[in-house]
Every structure is written in structure tokens, then in C-alpha cells.
Amino acid sequence: MSVATEFAPGLTIQNITAPQKLSAYKLIAFDMDSTLITIECIDEIADATGKKAEVAAITEATMRGEITDFKDSLRQRVGKLAGVTQADMARVLAERLQLSPGAHTLVKAAQNAGLKVLLVSGGFTYFAEHVRDLLQIDFVRANVLEMDNGVLTGGLVDQPWGDICDGAEKRRTLLEVASLLGIDAAQCIAVGDGSNDIPMMQAAGLSVAYHAKPRVRAEAKVCINLGGLDRLLEVLQ
């Protein structure tokens, strides 16, 4: 395994030379929870049922890679959300969801350099579509929470591409969008923080770990350990 080099305080690189040209890439893919936004939405939703600590513990173990079956982990956690109302969800969105520092700056710089932007999340469309609108993101893939008369059932809705957006689906989505754009995986950037981001990071030409778990940092070519997402612009100019 390569030893990471400190490029600047709190910013490490391995197996790349820097700075590089941002415009050399054509697609940038982001995880959402704890990457593009500061929260884990599922943990905050669970707060409405008094189960935040319980759900957050499973989330943390999953992101560290200690729980390896993401689909089973997500189903367990979503099952604990039964009874949460649409009003509860709206409060999480309005009161707790915030973009990560530097998110707007990085996305805008990428768009100005001609890149398309993909949000691909193991979280939920309810929040992902809001973030899409805030940042004018081109493509979104996330999971759909099942709701009956304005109340979460504790289940998920199957979609045409499959049941759950896990690590394998993130990778497949990145490659699918790259194919639609007529570009190579080497022209893609993947940014994430948890173990389920590793498959898409391994497929992309440039992998970026943002305030990530140790296992994810070991896989990434760029690690942002201090500061905001826009620190990537120190490596890609």
C-alpha cells in the first residue's frame, strides 16, 4: 500500500501528482450524507421516534465497514422509522440539513470547468432531490422511503434499477452515467466518506475521501481531513 503524502495541512495525496487540471475530468460523483451535507439523514429521522442513538450506532458501524451487508443494515434502520410522519421529515430537512462547507464552491467550480455532477446516495430521494435543486446537480440516484397516508411504513420502494442503492449500485451508477456521457471511468471523480463509497471510488479515475473513515482514506488518492470540500481545488486547479 502506498504511503500518503501531505500535500498541504490536512490534505494528503497518494499515487497522483498534483496539481492537476479539473477540466481534465468530465464527471464528479458525490455521496450525500456526511459528504455533500453535514448530517446522516436516517439518524436524524430516527430522532422523531426516539431511536436516534440505536440507528446511529448501526450507521457508524456500517460506514466503518464493520457491518458489511449494507442492504441488510439499511433495511434494519429503515424498519425503525415506521411511524415517522411527513411533517417530521420536513422538520429534519428545514432545521437540520445543511450543505457541507465548500460544497457549493466545489460543485460550481466543477460545473464551470465543464463537468457533469452526480449525487449517488444510500440515503433517500426526499433529501437528495432537495440537495439536487440547491446545487443544480445533473443526476441523482438514491433510495425511496415507502409512505402510506403521510406516514413511513418502515419499508423501501423498489425502483426500475433495483431495490437499494448500496456500494455496488453506486459503482454501477457511476459507470452507467459515464457511458451515457461517452466518457471513460478515468475521467470521473468520486467523493465519499463511508465504506459503501469504496466501490465507486475504486472505479473512478480520481477518488476523494472527505473526513472519511480509515478504511476509506486508505483507498483514496486524495484525502481531505481538515476544512471543506472546496479543498479539492487545491489539488485540481
The residues annotated with a catalytic role in the active site are 31, 33
**Matching residue, cell 466501490:** 199
Q: Which grid coordinates belong to 213?
A: 473513515
DSSP 160: T
DSSP, collapsed to helix, strand or coil, labels residue 109 as helix
Beta-carbon contacts of residue 158 (< 8 Å; ≥ 6 apart): none
DSSP 29-80: EE-TBTTTBSS-HHHHHHGGGT-HHHHHHHHHHHHHTSS--HHHHHHHHHHT
Chain-centre distance of CA 114, in angstroms? 21
- Cell numbers found for residue 189: 471523480
- 98, 95, 139, 97: which is closest to 120 by C-alpha? 139
- As a whole number of angstroms, the distance between CA 39 and CA 51 comes to 16
